[in-house]
Amino acid sequence: MRRTRLASTRLASTRLALITYASILACGPATPDPAAPGASPSAAQPPASPSGAPSGAPLADAKASTALRFTVRFGPELSAASLDGRLLLFLATRPGEEPRFQVTGANDTAQVFGIDLDSLAPGKPAVIDDATLGYPVARLADLPPGDYHVQALLHRYETFRRGDGHTVKLPPDRGEGQQWSLAPGNLLSAPVRMHLDPARGGDIALTLDRALPELPPMRDTKYLKHVRIRSERLSRFWGRDTYLGAQVLLPEGWDTHPDAHYPLAILHSHFDRGFFGWREQPPDADLPPVNLEGIARECPNGHGPRCAPLGYRRVVQEAGHRFYKQWTGPGFPRVLLVQIQHANPYYDDSYAVNSENLGPYGDAITHELIPHLERTFRGLGPWARGMYGGSTGGWEALAAQIFYPDDYNGAVASCPDPIDFHHFVSVNIYEDRNAYWSEGPLRRTPRPANRGPLGYTVATMEQDNLLELVLGTHSRSGGQFDIWEAVFSPVGPDGYPRRLYDRRTGVIDPEVAQAWHRYDLGHILERDWATLGPKLQGKLWINVGRMDNYFLDGAVTRVECFLRSTRNPASDAVIAYGATDGHCWNGDPTTLNAHSRLRYHERFIPQLVTRWLASAPKGADVKSWRY
């Protein structure tokens, strides 16, 4: 699960109790929402007027006109051809970071407006005016007067003529992990500080005057290797050469033990140009010192703006270097550790399953990439493959084990994205009528999408979804709700994903909701337990905090209720809950989440090794890699 900024929320808790199958939980059906038809959400409310003049470039006033509007152009020196894409206009009140980096899901987000551009010619103006949808203020006319840092960015799209016959315009990943604020080739303007007042109007001209540069190549080291292969399956789907990548950590002694073959541990996670949790150098000397008490109080889950001043970056780097020393030192299991790179035109990863909109990523990873890595680096095969991950990676690990039960031998899913859509964040997609509002005959209550460590609402479903709609139509924002739609929804008549719910009103399409059954892991387990159950024995572990920031514990509880009821076989899945832990608890009840979320490798690799040794088939190599 990745939250908009676009910052990723990967692996993330406090101490506390484990509640397993012996617990007493309410295992009844999810409570339906008595929704009233015909309701629609209120318009986005404007933020408080900015106070004070931020420091920076000289202040400019918009030229007076009847209405406030912006015209944006690029010149032939940046592109002689017409361009497609999403034009984004940012208005930020805070100095410092460029406005494009200040778009978040928090209250202090920069204002953003967005329009689609089809074949915009060089020199031709694109217009953002009062008809353009914005967030958090919906209309330019409602923008509070004040001083703003203004910047425009064109997120470039390309035309894909897919193998399924559909032609769509999408942003290809360019090595940055589907981040519109960083994508090489995107055009942007220099930030300009100016005074804006919709009552006075103004016609403001901005020029996209530079393109973001290509990213430098990633370098191999003795231990870390980068792999990239062309996928035949994905290339057929997308109608162009399409690649899968992986970062591979080689075990200590790999080069001096040429006859050894190794198990394969897969970290499912978001795209990362580095290897998550790995750092060959000691922490940077100029980082702030660590305030452990402050982290426990202000940054218990390792997320948020209060973490950095308390020295949390040093904590992260220390953990990465500690793991490097463990990996290369005596006693740590000698395995191949892989982080897959499968960024695509919709998101920074594919969710590792086959999808009508993304293509056969599940088959490509399992039947093309993994065998290639094992041939290249001397892997042992399916009996010695396992997976772990948190958030999106937790869902992927569990889904891959369920969809490919014979190809993997163990999955540890921490804080997985919704594994049962009766609890899709705070929505029951099968019974609720509206994704934004819990409605009754006389009132309606906004549904939360994100809660803080004490349970208070940080953002609502409507807020997060409207932000994504402004960043990109047709599920093209690169945001969390859009990728769920891209992976789980059927293809629409126009070639783009069908909406689960209307992004302006929140009204759910029950036909699309039923189609999501194909990816509802709880539903699949219940439907196919007679054949799946025997293949999953000894292979499933799930960890989640009872205060998960994105309400992911509800879906886990529902799945546990089913697993506890199984017979022939009775499931032996292990499910653990952190009583007050948030996103993304890893099952360790003894360590603050801000620290334990950084220890996935050292916690889960030995756990998987124990599984492999206990279940190794007769004659399997259980010795060559144990040195």
290: confidence class by pLDDT, cuts 50, 70, 90:
very high
Taking a C-beta distance cutoff of 8 angstroms, is the pair 73, 124 a contact? yes
Give the pLDDT confidence score for residue 468 in this predicted structure. Answer: 98
Q: Is the pLDDT of residue 148 over 90?
A: yes
pLDDT greater than 90 at residue 110: yes
Cis, peptide link before residue 136, omega less than 30° from 0: yes
Helix pair angle (392-403, 521-536), 10° resolution = 60
Q: What is the pLDDT of residues 194-207, one digit of tens each?
A: 999 999 999 999 99
Query: Do the beta carbons of residue 582 and residue 548 sit within 8 Å?
Result: yes
174 pLDDT exceeds 70? Answer: yes
Q: Which DSSP string corresponds to 192-226?
A: EEEEE-TTT-EEEEEEE-EEPPPPPPPPP-SSEEE
Q: Which pLDDT score, from 0 to 100, does residue 318 have? A: 97
Using pLDDT thresholds of 50, 70 and 90, give the confidence band for residue 2: low
pLDDT for 593 beyond 70: yes
For 416-426, the pLDDT digits (tens) are 999 999 999 99
Q: Please report the pLDDT score of residue 83 as a whole number.
A: 98
pTM greater than the 0.95 cutoff: no
Distance of CA 151 to the CA centre of its chain: 25
Q: So what's the pLDDT on residue 38? A: 36
Residue 41 has pLDDT above 80, yes or no: no
**Model confidence band, residue 305 (pLDDT cutoffs 50, 70, 90):** confident
Placement of tokens 């009132």 in the chain? 443
Cβ-proximal residues to 576 (8 Å cutoff; 6+ apart), any chain: 18, 19, 20, 541, 542, 543, 544, 587, 589
pLDDT in tens, 467-494: 999 999 999 999 999 999 999 999 999 9
Architecture field, domain 2-30+223-284+321-420+527-615 = 3-Layer(aba) Sandwich (3.40)
Q: What average pLDDT does the chain have?
A: 90
Domain with CATH 2.60.40 in the chain: 60-211
What is the per-residue pLDDT across 572-589, written as a single tens digit (0 to 9) for each? 999 999 998 999 899 999
* pLDDT at res. 176: 95
pLDDT for 453 equals 86
Write the pLDDT tens digit of every residue in 338-378: 999 999 999 999 999 999 999 999 999 999 999 999 999 99
Using alpha carbons, select from 221, 218, 227, 277 the residue that is nearest to residue 254.
221
Class of domain 60-211: mainly beta
| From-to residues of CATH 3.40.50.1820 in the chain | 2-30+223-284+321-420+527-615
| Residue 195 structure tokens | 């005074």
User: Which parts of 390-450 fold into alpha helices (H)?
Assistant: 392-403
